[in-house]
Amino acid sequence: MRIIVAGWLRFAGDEKTCAEIIVGGADHIAAAREEAGCTAYNWAVDPLEPGQMHVYEEWDSEEALLQHFADPPYADMRSHLERYELTGFHVQIYTAAGIEPVYAEDGWPRKEIFGVTLAGA
Which CATH number is associated with domain 2-98?
3.30.70.100
Extents of the domains making up the chain: 2-98
Q: 10 Å Cβ neighbour count for 40?
A: 12
Read off the pLDDT of residues 39-89 as tens digits, 9 standing for 90 and up.
999 999 999 999 999 999 999 999 999 999 999 999 999 999 999 999 999
Q: What is the pLDDT of residue 1?
A: 87
Confidence of residue 121 (pLDDT cuts 50, 70, 90): low
Please tell me the pTM assigned to this model.
Answer: 0.88
